[in-house]
């Protein structure tokens, strides 16, 4: 990044990333044809999606070589996003057995 | 096309323009919005007694085409940004026009997909899966429409504001937003269609 100026465009890199994103999209669909068990499918799908999103963020959004304040802002966003994921899932994990018990009980005469 | 974009004032304490900091803060709030929906999706899916696999009930080839369209539009908008930095107006207009065209292409394919669902009496109220499918893709579609409006405005204003010192930053901001819309779809596609 040039200091205090717009990011210097790198057209060759854009086209390379474009090719990588296309290939990874095809890979995502091909993997889904394997009909993996749900946990493995989620892990693989999430991994490929994360790689694709990282490529877009690093090169198209020029995060590679961005100012520290933007990294700090994104770090805070990721931190709160993780809380947003973890708290409801933890809550669900604790409550699910009880609610299932109630649901089963309700079905009995 | 020989000189670079005109200089703008950067805040000395942050090193970025206020506009750029603003667009990143906006995107941070957007991350939280979509993260909430993804969390809802996870909780609803884990709590459901049965949940259809995406490929059984949704049109995967159409969604894959839409993924290719959005990725291509991400490249064309970054090329438009490169053109505005290099002060090449015809190139900027060409790439921005292609980006807008691709965005409409995305919406048309999405419309075809929605129409097929409605023809089969599948609405958001039909099932929990449909509720989360229409909510997430609908909200994403609204963001695509927002991107079309912003990109069209920049294309229209490029003649009168080409030499404005803030024009490069505006194109960069629009690009950042559009790439975010692309990233959301990168996660929505496997989550809804392939799992």
The CA–CA distances, whole Å, from B179 to A36, B39, B183 equal 30, 22, 6
Asked if A60's CB is within 8 angstroms of B75's CB, the reply is yes
Task: Note whether A1 and A52 are same-domain residues.
Answer: yes
Domain that holds residue B36: 18-194
Task: Note whether A91 and A108 are same-domain residues.
Answer: yes
Whether B6 is in a domain gets the answer no
ipTM reported for the complex, 2 dp: 0.90
User: CB of B52 within 8 A of CB of B129?
Assistant: yes
Chain B CB contacts of A11 below 8 Å: 79, 82
Task: Note whether A15 and A54 are same-domain residues.
Answer: yes
Cβ–Cβ contact A51 with B under 8 A:
no
Chain-centre distance for alpha carbon A108: 42
Domain that holds residue A85: 67-109
Q: Which of B5, B74, B194 sits opposite A32 (nearest CB)?
A: B194
Q: Name the more confident of B77 and A39.
A: B77
User: Is A99's pLDDT higher than 90?
Assistant: no
For the stretch A90-93, contacts whose Cβ atoms lie closer than 8 Å and that sit 24 or more positions apart, written own/partner, are A92/B43, A92/B46, A92/B47
User: Could you tell me the pTM of the whole model?
Assistant: 0.90
Task: Note whether A51 and A89 are same-domain residues.
Answer: no
Residues 86-125 of B with CB under 8 A from A: 86
User: CB of A20 within 8 A of CB of B186?
Assistant: no
Task: Note whether A82 and A41 are same-domain residues.
Answer: no
How many domains is chain B partitioned into structurally? Answer: 1
Q: How far apart are CA A54 and CA A61, in angstroms?
A: 10
The alpha-carbon gap from B106 to the nearest alpha carbon of chain A, in Å, equals 16
Whether B8 is in a domain gets the answer no
How many domains is chain A partitioned into structurally? Answer: 2
Q: How far apart are CA A53 and CA A44, in angstroms?
A: 14
CATH code for the domain in which residue B72 is found: 1.20.120.80
Whether B129 is in a domain gets the answer yes
Whether B1 is in a domain gets the answer no
Whether B114 is in a domain gets the answer yes
pLDDT tens string for chain B (195 positions)? 446 666 566 666 778 888 899 999 999 999 999 999 999 999 999 888 888 988 889 999 999 999 999 999 999 999 999 999 999 999 999 999 999 999 999 999 999 999 999 999 999 999 999 999 999 999 999 999 999 999 999 999 999 999 998 999 999 999 999 999 999 999 999 999 988
Whether B9 is in a domain gets the answer no
For the stretch B47-50, contacts whose Cβ atoms lie closer than 8 Å and that sit 24 or more positions apart, written own/partner, are B47/A92, B47/A96, B47/A99, B48/B128, B48/B129
Task: Note whether A55 and A71 are same-domain residues.
Answer: no
Query: Cβ contacts of residue A35 below 8 Å, gap of 6+?
Result: A41
């Amino acid at each position: 990044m040039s200091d205090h100026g717009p990011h210097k465009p790198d057209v060759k890199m854009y086209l390379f990333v474009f090719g990588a994103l296309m290939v990874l999209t095809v890979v995502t669909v091909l993997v889904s044809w394997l009909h993996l068990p749900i946990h493995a499918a989620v892990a693989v799908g999430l991994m490929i999606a994360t790689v694709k999103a990282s490529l877009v963020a690093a090169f198209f959004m020029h995060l590679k070589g961005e100012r520290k304040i933007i990294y700090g802002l994104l770090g805070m966003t990721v931190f709160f996003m993780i809380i947003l994921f973890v708290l409801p899932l933890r809550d669900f994990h604790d409550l699910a057995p009880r609610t299932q018990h109630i649901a089963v009980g309700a079905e009995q005469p | 096309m020989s000189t670079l974009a005109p200089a703008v004032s950067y805040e000395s304490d942050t090193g970025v323009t206020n506009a750029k900091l603003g667009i990143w803060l906006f995107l941070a709030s957007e991350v939280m919005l979509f993260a909430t929906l993804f969390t809802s999706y996870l909780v609803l899916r884990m709590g459901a007694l049965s949940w259809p696999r995406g490929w059984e009930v949704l049109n995967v080839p159409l969604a894959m085409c839409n993924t290719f369209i959005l990725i291509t539009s991400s490249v064309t908008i970054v090329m438009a940004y490169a053109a505005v930095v290099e002060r090449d107006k015809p190139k900027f207009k060409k790439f921005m026009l292609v980006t807008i065209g691709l965005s409409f292409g995305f919406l048309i394919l999405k419309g075809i997909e929605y129409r097929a669902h409605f023809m089969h009496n599948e609405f958001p109220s039909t099932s929990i899966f449909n509720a989360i499918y229409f909510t997430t893709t609908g909200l994403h579609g609204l963001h695509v429409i927002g991107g079309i409006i912003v990109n069209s405005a920049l294309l229209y204003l490029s003649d009168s504001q080409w030499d404005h010192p803030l024009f490069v930053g505006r194109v960069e901001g629009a690009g950042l937003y559009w790439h975010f819309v692309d990233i959301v779809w990168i996660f929505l596609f496997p989550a809804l269609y392939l799992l």
